[in-house]
Amino acid sequence: MSDFDFDQIQKTVEAELERITSFQQLQVFQHKYLGRKGVIPSLTRQLSKLEPVQRRQLGQRINALKQRLINYIAEKEPLFKTQASSQSFSLSELSLPGIAQELGHLHPITRVIEEICGVFMRMGFSVVEGPEIETEYNNFTGLNIPLEHPARDVFDTFYLEPRAWIRDRKELKERLLLRSHTSPVQIRVMRARKPPLAVVVPGRVYRPDAVDASHSFMFHQIEGFMVDEDIRFSDLKGVLEVFLKAIFGQEISMRFRPHFFPFTEPSAEVDIGCIICKGEGCSVCSRKGWLEILGAGMIHPNVFKNVGYDPNKYTGFAFGLGVERIAMLKYSINDIRLFFENDLRFLKQF
Ligand code: PHE
């Protein structure tokens, strides 16, 4: 073998390299030149037949070529490989339609809460939330519902069995419970802030009611209250009128019926004209023509005293409404359990 032969081999190698365009061709090339019986190893074997000087020269050139091929393959192999896998993927799957991602949406109760809070926010109210596990004080005593008061039985309540480590802590002597209404957040907010206040409080409440089409042991309320130096019953009426018209339409009629709540005085239950029969009388309104929609009143002076406000300086109103009830009326839903069963056939309608 001479230098001339090697020049020829090198030319052929370069030409072949140029033509490699796939992983398979690269493998064939590698086998042909670097394989055990390949061109490079057989050239190396022939070196022993040469004169020492020529052997060294040619040996160096062969090694250089070998290194070049090794580097080339190391560089190109990963590129050709990804090309190969994407090619086989694209050929079989490129024309398949994609897998559609099903888009979820907000739960109808969440939507109604957002809609109601939105109306009040536009009137300048801020939204505050409170914990679902409450103290007996915030849920009852602070709201002017003393232990012996009959109203305390009215709210049948889930009391929590205190764990030993809580029982032993003196500052947590009080019983804890699942709040039976959102009114305890009145106490929390009034203790933490000073008037003027305009706040709405959405959240879950719990009562051990037997479950049926209109009762659930867990449901949602929105509390609202406003406190300042000159808040009057007429402010309550005005705010509720704006709210009810925004939710049920400008045509809706509204009436206040005297009622009793320990934490408001005077108190009222607020009805709207039946949105199903427009006041004619139907099964939804039990032929009364009116639907009870929320409880409200002027915050009791004792509640102000309990939070450290001067009842001679401040007045305020409060109201509380059931979100499920409003959602059921708005969307003509006749069973509260539908909201909590997670049946997609129901939920997808919203
Ligand atoms: N907390 C009362 C309830 O759950 C509703 C209410 C709130 C009434 C605020 C008056 C004022 O029934």
pLDDT digits (tens, 9 = 90+) for 86-133: 655 555 567 778 888 888 999 999 999 999 999 999 999 999 999 999
Pocket test of ligand 1: the residue of 156, 261, 269, 300 to mutate, having most ligand atoms within 8 Å of its CB, is 261
* Closest residue by Cα to residue 289 from 316, 255, 319, 317: 255
More confidently predicted of 198 and 5: 198
Residue count of the chain, please give it: 350
- Residue 220 pLDDT: 98
- Residue 332 pLDDT: 92
- Residue 341 pLDDT: 95
Atom of ligand 1 nearest to the CA of 181: 4
- C-alpha of residue 263 to centroid of ligand 1, in Å: 8
User: Which of 167-181, 188-202, 336-350 bottoms out in mean pLDDT, i.e. has the lowest?
Assistant: 167-181
- C-alpha of residue 320 to centroid of ligand 1, in Å: 4
- Residue 160 pLDDT: 87
Give, using CA atoms, the residue closest to atom 9 of ligand 1: 319
* Single-letter residue type at 338: L
* Closest residue by Cα to residue 259 from 269, 244, 246: 269
The pLDDT tens digits of the residues spanning 224-245 come to: 999 999 999 999 999 999 999 9
- Residue 24 pLDDT: 87
Pocket test of ligand 1: the residue of 134, 263, 270, 292 to mutate, having most ligand atoms within 8 Å of its CB, is 263
Coil, strand or helix at 178: strand
290 HSE (CA, 13 A, CB side): 12
- C-alpha of residue 331 to centroid of ligand 1, in Å: 24
- C-alpha of residue 316 to centroid of ligand 1, in Å: 14
Q: How far apart are the first and last CA of the chain?
A: 85
Atom of ligand 1 nearest to the CA of 205: 4
* Single-letter residue type at 23: F
- Residue 294 pLDDT: 97
Tokens 């939070």, located at residue: 307
Q: Where are the alpha helices (DSSP H) in the chain?
A: 3-19, 23-34, 39-46, 52-93, 108-122, 136-139, 151-154, 164-167, 184-192, 233-248, 301-307, 323-331, 344-347
What phi and psi, each to the nearest 5 degrees, are found at residue 217? -70, -15
Give, using CA atoms, the residue closest to atom 2 of ligand 1: 320
- C-alpha of residue 248 to centroid of ligand 1, in Å: 21
Average pLDDT over residues 128-152: 88
User: Which of 161-175, 254-268, 301-315 bottoms out in mean pLDDT, i.e. has the lowest?
Assistant: 161-175
What phi and psi, each to the nearest 5 degrees, are found at residue 109? -65, -40
- Residue 179 pLDDT: 96
Query: In which band, very low, low, confident or very high, does the pLDDT at 206 lie, cut at 50, 70 and 90?
Result: very high
- Residue 87 pLDDT: 59
- Distance (Å, rounded) from C-alpha 302 to C-alpha 226? 16
CA-to-CA separations, 43 to 60, 65, 66, 69, in angstroms, rounded: 12, 11, 11, 15
Residue 154 has pLDDT above 60, yes or no: no
Protein residues with CB under 6 Å of any ligand 1 atom: 181, 183, 223, 261, 264, 295-297, 318-320
- Distance (Å, rounded) from C-alpha 76 to C-alpha 91? 22
Superfamily of domain 108-131+181-347: Bira Bifunctional Protein; Domain 2 (3.30.930.10)
The pLDDT tens digits of the residues spanning 35-50 come to: 988 999 998 988 888 8
Tokens 């500052």, located at residue: 171
- Residue 83 pLDDT: 77
237 HSE (CA, 13 A, CB side): 10
- Distance (Å, rounded) from C-alpha 272 to C-alpha 300? 25
Contact 271, 248 (CB under 8 A): no
- C-alpha of residue 72 to centroid of ligand 1, in Å: 80
- Residue 89 pLDDT: 58
- Residue 156 pLDDT: 77
- Distance (Å, rounded) from C-alpha 311 to C-alpha 293? 28
**Burial class, 214, CB count within 10 angstroms (exposed 0-12 / middle 13-18 / buried 19+):** middle
Atom of ligand 1 nearest to the CA of 296: 10
- C-alpha of residue 124 to centroid of ligand 1, in Å: 21
- Residue 279 pLDDT: 85
- Residue 261 pLDDT: 95
Give, using CA atoms, the residue closest to atom 5 of ligand 1: 320
- Distance (Å, rounded) from C-alpha 286 to C-alpha 170? 51
The pLDDT tens digits of the residues spanning 275-325 come to: 888 888 888 888 999 999 999 999 999 999 999 999 999 999 999 999 999
CA-to-CA separations, 182 to 111, 121, 220, 320, 346, in angstroms, rounded: 19, 18, 9, 8, 28
Residues 6+ apart with CB under 8 A from 81: 23
Tokens of 34: 């670097």
- C-alpha of residue 244 to centroid of ligand 1, in Å: 17
- Residue 6 pLDDT: 87
Atom of ligand 1 nearest to the CA of 183: 1
- C-alpha of residue 92 to centroid of ligand 1, in Å: 64
- Residue 165 pLDDT: 59
- Distance (Å, rounded) from C-alpha 155 to C-alpha 282? 29
Atom of ligand 1 nearest to the CA of 294: 5
Average pLDDT over residues 17-33: 90
- Residue 79 pLDDT: 86
CA-to-CA separations, 188 to 130, 170, 236, in angstroms, rounded: 8, 21, 21
- Residue 90 pLDDT: 57
Pocket test of ligand 1: the residue of 183, 205, 206, 303 to mutate, having most ligand atoms within 8 Å of its CB, is 183
CA 16 to chain CA centroid, nearest Å? 60
- C-alpha of residue 297 to centroid of ligand 1, in Å: 9
157 HSE (CA, 13 A, CB side): 23
- C-alpha of residue 292 to centroid of ligand 1, in Å: 13
* Closest residue by Cα to residue 328 from 337, 320, 336: 336
